[in-house]
Structures are given as structure tokens and as C-alpha cells.
Amino acid sequence: MLVRKHKILFVDDEPFILQGIRRSTEEYTGNWIVDFATSGSEALKKLASESFDAVVTDMLMPGMDGVTLLKEVTEDHPGVLRFVLSGNTRDENILQATHLVHQMFPKPCDIDYVYKVVERSCLLRDMVSEPNLIRIITGIRSLPSAPTLYNNLLVELQSKEPDPQLVGDIIAQDPAMTAKILQLVNSAFFGLPNNISNPQRAVVILGLNTIKALTLGIHIFSEFKSSARFPISIETIWNHSLLVSNLARKIARILKLTPQDQEDAQVAGILHDTGKLLEYRIPNFFSRIQIDNGYIPPKSEYQTLGTSHAEMGAYLLGGWGLPNQIVEAVLLHHNPGMQVSDTPNIISVLHIANGLMNMYRAEKKVRYEPYLDVAYVNKMGLSEKMSDWEEECQVMLNADPRISG
């Protein structure tokens, strides 16, 4: 099977930097076609005449700087992945760029690491074959947040003494804000030895001043506003994600997964339907899709889009640099049998938590299928625990005042 080579454009005004990148990327010619531009204007000319998968640009350049270039690429070439490679980690332009890029790298940076990150994003994008869909997802700067949570965050950040714990707790309840804050903290700019998957910890690392600047000044979060009437309310997705997140954490704890896996299961739960938030950006999506009592079967998504919300969400989150384990869980939460592991893990936990919540919220009389992969559950030796987890699911649904029906 032939694997398509990805075409990457590096932009830097210093020739010796580009020469070093040229030499360092020679070993990747089997997977990459690499081109170079010494200015933003030259980069835009190349983008206008050739097709690229990704742009990796410096920030401080004479004439057109990196921020201006990234704005142009976002507007005119939304299907191109955008990365920053810069030595000015404290520059205000870096804060401006956070709203425009998928990930950032500091100078100097190991080119092997750059390759792995950019190639991973390209491979995830390859799972979404429809060009217009790629442009929509790649061009997205932020996801819509729940109005109540968004406003609560603004109120807390504008108070005299904002509480970092409360700020983190608000962000952790919202899929869009969680995804964005984890994108920022996992940027290579911070040089952290391990990936961060806890929104509250991310707030502490970034600091309230940075969070305030990004939220109030650059608006990295966005409130969901729409006059359109949708057959499935976006609030339903937010509520479902929070419930799945809490149930996944409980199941992970019962299975005695590691504390990190328990934390990752909770975060994967809040993010697992990120792809469904993207569907609200697709023109005429809901008029073309089959909806079964408020539930959109992945099979119907494949028939309409050629992909599903799982692949779309994984592509966006992977492009934003979220930890691999969380991205893989989002990708496989409907198809856990596609993983290689033969022991229960966060993919197993997320699949069960999501399946049970979907089954009970739809008030289906059927047992498990099509919401759960019964063969997979049996293979993992989890079938005897299902009744206990069903009870947990029902308790949570009955206790949540936001759930109706």
C-alpha cells in the first residue's frame, strides 16, 4: 500500500536556519516533501501555486511577520496545518499566535520531535478524506463553549481575586475550553517533561495572568451563539460529555487503573464528542443525516460525510497536540476492538461509559447493541460488571437536573 508523502513548507528569514532544517529533514524524504521560503510573502506565493499539508513558520521576520502570515494562511488556505518554530517564547506575538496555530515549537528544537508532531497531525488528517471537511476542521480556531460556563469563566477572571481552582473547575466542565487549554499547556514552548491532561493543573502551569490575557484579550474561547434551530441541541452534547466523563472516571477507578489513567479517562470523556461540536459547522449537515431519537449512528455519519465524529474529533485534538492516549480514546470510542491491547484501558472505559449513557438517554429497551460492542466487552472480561455500571449510569442520569427525557 502506497503512503502519500506529506508536503511541508518551512518559513524563516535566516538562511542558515533553513539550511540546518534542510539537512536535518533529509532522512524523512520517504514521508516528506520539504520546501522553504525566506519570507511571509514568498510563503504565500508558494501556497497559492502549490498544495501543502503544513506550514512551519518563524515569528519575528522583516516585512510580513509570523502572525500576519498565519492569519493569511488561516483565511486563504484553511486546510493547511499551521505550526510555529520560534525562539521568542515571551514575545506578545506568541500569545497572538495561540489563536492561529495548531502547535508551537521553541528554538532550538529537535527536528525529530518536530517531524513526529507534524507527521502525526498529517496522518490524523488523512483519516478525513473530504476536502471541504478538512478545510472546515483545520481552519477552526476555537470550539463553541456552553454559554453558562463561558460567562461564569468571564465573571471569575474579572473578579478582584480570581481563584485558580475555580477557574480550572469551570474549564474542566466544558469540552471546548478543556481542549483549548490542553492544547496550550502541551505546547513544546513550555518544555514540560510529560503531557498534561488535567485542566486544573494546566491553569496553574499557565498562570492566571496568561489565562486572563488569552480569554479576555485574544478570546481563545468562544460562546456558542446561533439563531438556527437544530434537531439536536448543542447543550445535549455538553451535558452528555460531562456525564460520560464522570462515569468513565468511576469505571476506571473500579477497574483500578492507574491514577493517571483515571484522570485521562475523565478528560477523554469530556472530549469524546468533540467531533459532534464540529458538525454544527458543516453546512446543511442536520438536513442530510439520519437521526434516531436524538442519536446519530456513526454509520449514518460515514454515509453522509465519509467519516465520523470520532475521526474528526481525533484529528482536531491530535492537531492541537493533546496526549496520544486521549486522542486514541476519542478515535476508538465506538470501535474499541481496533486497538491492539488485550487488557482493559481508558478506551474500554470510555466505550462502556459512552455506550451506557447513550442507551439509557435514548430510553431503548434493547440490551447494549448498537450502543456497545458486546463481543469486545466479553473479550475484556467485563460483562459481569456491566449491571453495576448500569446502576451507576441510572443514578447519575436521575441526579442530573439538566437531563430531560
Provide the CATH topology of domain 234-399: Hypothetical protein af1432 (1.10.3210)
Helix, strand, coil fractions of the chain, as percent rounded to 5: 55, 10, 35
pLDDT at position 369: 66
> Is the pLDDT confidence value at 180 over 70?
yes
Nearest alpha carbon to residue 197 among 304, 313, 327: 327
Mean residue pLDDT of the chain comes to: 87
> Is 1's pLDDT higher than 50?
no
Of the listed ranges 5-9, 95-99, 305-309, 361-365, the least confidently predicted one is 361-365
Band of residue 191 on the pLDDT scale cut at 50, 70, 90: low
Per the listing, cell 431519537 goes with: 293
pLDDT score of 395 more than 50 = yes
Position 236 pLDDT exceeds 50: yes
For the chain, count helices (H), then strands (E). Answer: 21, 7
* pLDDT over 70 percentage in the chain: 90
Q: CA of 101: how far to CAs of 202, 246, 314, 318, 327, in Å?
A: 19, 31, 17, 13, 18
Query: How much is the pLDDT for 401?
Result: 46
The residue-averaged pLDDT of 128-152 equals 86
Alpha-carbon gap, residue 329 to 348, rounded angstroms:
8
Rounded to an integer, the average pLDDT of 14-22 is 93
Q: Is the pLDDT of residue 296 over 80?
A: yes
pLDDT over 90 (residue 46): yes
Whole-angstrom distance, CA of residue 181 vs CA of residue 204? 11
> CA-CA distance, 183 to 319, in Å (whole number)?
9
pTM of the model: 0.85
Q: Show Cβ contacts of residue 110 under 8 Å, excluding neighbours closer than 6 positions.
A: none
Identify the pLDDT of residue 23.
94
100, three cell numbers = 492561529
Q: Is the pLDDT of residue 144 over 90?
A: no
Q: What is the CATH number of domain 6-126?
A: 3.40.50.2300
Q: At 405, is the pLDDT very low, low, confident or very high (cuts 50, 70, 90)?
A: very low
For 315-353, the pLDDT digits (tens) are 999 988 899 999 999 999 999 999 888 899 999 999 999
SS3 226: coil
Band (403; pLDDT cuts 50, 70, 90) = very low
The pLDDT of residue 78 is above 50: yes
Work out the average pLDDT over 304-308.
Answer: 91
Whether the predicted pLDDT of 107 surpasses 90: no
Q: Domain residues of the chain, as ranges?
A: 6-126, 149-223, 234-399
Assign residue 293 a region: left if phi > 0, alpha if psi is -120 to 50, beta otherwise? left
Closest to 151 measured CA to CA, from 236, 95, 215 = 215
Per-residue model confidence (pLDDT) at position 129: 80
How many other CB atoms are there within 10 angstroms of residue 5's CB atom?
A: 15
pLDDT class of 212 with cuts at 50, 70, 90: confident
> Of residues 295 and 154, which shows the higher confidence score?
154
Contact between 138 and 125 (Cβ < 8 Å): yes
Other CB atoms within a 10 A radius of the CB of residue 126 amount to: 15
Residue 241 in this model has a pLDDT that exceeds 70: yes
- Residue 93: its pLDDT value, please? 61
